[in-house]
Structure 1
Amino acid sequence: MLTKICKLARIAGRSIMKFYYTNKKINFVYKIDQSPITNADKISHQIIKSGLTDISPNIPILSEEDSKTYCKSWNIYWLVDPLDGTKEFLKKNGEFTVNISLIEYGKPVLGVIYAPFFNILYYAFNQQAWKIDEKGYKKEISVVHSKQPLFVISRSHLNSKLNIFLEKIKFYKLKELGSSLKFCYVADGQAQFYPRFGNTYIWDTAAGHAIVNAAGGSVKIYGTNIDLDYSLSTRKSLINPYFLVSS
């Protein structure tokens, strides 16, 4: 099944790149939360929804582009962000991804992240994480510690809380990065921390969470030792609390 999910993410990614490379202006509208949505988001959603239904017809799907049609009683479900980093997609800087994860009783047990512009695939299952680079080379990945850690931060969501957090740290390096690639950087040892002090939704984090966990890292609610949780039955909303991804 994991192989099929990886293939599905690549197919969705190829559909996104057709829009990315078009000479025509990409039309978009803003949703209620002021995040943009394009035709690329919608087409990717349809491809993934159809593919997952064929692969596992008995497992329900919660996607960012169809987020009102879920049941709190779902214990096992697919969680999908068809185009994570739509702002980066519109800026055409390449830092956007396709995210697919499988949730079982609040835990992300499978995660696939595909960055179509870079043609890099990250995936994890059963406490193992891998990366397939643009040349097709596959390797198992794990977190790496550093005395001068690299913090990856959101390119589009900088705020004062982040500045206060960083003021407490003496020696560090900083890199701005879009989408769930921040999780991937921690998972494969390129970075050590990803602090987030702003709104994210569960589809933004689940696939990256699975990959970081399998690579030996953690995704904790900020200031606690509690993992981000994806149980629909206990949630008041689909928005995550602030969190810290660590190697």
Structure 2
Amino acid sequence: MLLRAGAAALLTDVVTIARNAGDAILRIERDGAGDVRRKHDESMLTQADLVAESLIARALAARDPQTPIISEEGRCDAHGGAPSRFWLVDPLDGTREFIAGNGEYTVNIALVEDGEAVLGVVHAPALETTYAAARGLGAQRIAAGTSQPIRARAGGELVVVASRSHPGPLLDRFLAALPPHRTVAMGSALKLCAVADGTALLYPRLGPTCWWDTAAAHAVVAESGATVVALDNAPLRYAGSDVRNPPFVCSALPRSTWERAAEAVGAELR
């Protein structure tokens, strides 16, 4: 169980691990993305994914040897059911953004306990920005050497973030059913963090994602006062043996704001 007394120190250490992985990714990016190959699910894999994965796995094992790691690159898997406590890692979330060179990629590290993300770090190396949170400690954004607490914004202009590389065919239908709004395309877990820090109010994700795509930012969102829920309003959980997330909405607004949009796409997603 994540105890408040030790959570701050653990969070600091995980921020350092994520930044070290980010520095390794930046070094590879400066030299070019290197070989790019496709995995069995047609997603892309680069040298940066593998180097960051190895660095994070070694560092987490040294810091917390009793806790298993589930990672996109397969250090451990959830076959037979995820353990009650585990690290969840995406060493390079937004590989398409990394290859495109637009900077919108992140290193994601989360600690999951009993199906809930209780600690999360999302580091954007190219943007020199880190989002971090642990249960009961609030959420923070670290940039230019300064840490500032962040809170979701529940009013003002309705800004909606959407996936830059994976918008999906149902997104237009969802957006059409929303109140007047402005849409901003963005990559990786930064979309969830945009809701957490008040840059946006809503992020619908109707296409496929996996646990490692969302858990770290989910912890940040939760501590910021926003929510991440499936279209039926059930909270996203990280338990069982299926690492795929259902379609979800990250929101700083009441469900009534986007319920009609969810209904507009719900039949297609059942």
1:91 counterpart = 2:100: yes
1:36 Cα shift? Answer: 0.2
Q: Distance in 1 between matches of 2:60 and 2:195?
A: 28
Q: Deviations over 1:8-41 (max 9, x none)?
A: 000000000011111x462110011111000100
Answer yes or no: is 1:240 the counterpart of 2:229: no
Higher relative helix content: 2
CA positional deviation for 1:146:
2.7
Deviations 1:162-195 (A, max 9, x none): 1111111231011000000001100000000000
- Within the candidate set 142, 165, 173, 1:132 is matched to 142
Give the alignment's TM-score, normalised by structure 1: 0.94
- AA aligned to 1:65 is E
How far apart in 1 are the matches of 2:239 and 2:114?
6
List runs of 5+ in structure 2 lacking aligned partners. 1-9, 253-270
User: 2:64 and 2:212 mapped to 1: Cα distance?
Assistant: 19
Aligned to 2:59: 51
Q: Contact 2:33–2:47 (CA<8 Å) still a contact in 1?
A: no
Partner of 2:68: 60
| Count of residues in Structure 1 that have an aligned counterpart in Structure 2 | 241
Q: What are the superposed Cα offsets for residues 30-54 of structure 1, whole Å, 9 maximum, x if unpaired?
A: 0111110001000000000000000
Partner of 2:174: 165
C-alpha RMSD over aligned residues: 1.2
Structure 1 runs (4+) greater than 4 angstroms displaced: none
Higher mean C-alpha displacement, 147-156 vs 66-75:
66-75
Q: Which residue of 1 aligns with 2:44?
A: 36
Q: Which amino acid aligns with 1:37?
A: L
Given that residues 79 and 206 in structure 1 are in contact (C-alpha distance below 8 angstroms), is that contact kept between their aligned partners in structure 2?
yes
Partner Cα distance (1:69, 1:180) in 2? 21
**CA–CA distance in structure 2, aligned partners of residues 164 and 220 of structure 1:** 19
- Kindly state the Cα deviation for residue 149 of structure 1 after the two structures are TM-superposed: 0.8
Please give the TM-score of this superposition, normalised by the length of structure 2.
0.87
Identity over aligned residues, as a percent?
39
C-alpha deviation, 1:69, in angstroms: 3.6
Alpha-carbon separation, structure 2, partners of 1:25 and 1:172: 36
Q: 1:25 to 1:136 in 2, by over 3 A?
A: closer
Distance 2:76 2:83 in 1: 14
Distance (Å, rounded) in 1 between the aligned partners of 2:19 and 2:145: 13
Paired residues of 1:26 and 1:90 also in contact (CA < 8 A): no
Q: For 1:207-246, what aligned pairs fall within 5 Å after superposition?
A: 207-222=216-231, 224-232=232-240, 235=241, 237-246=242-251
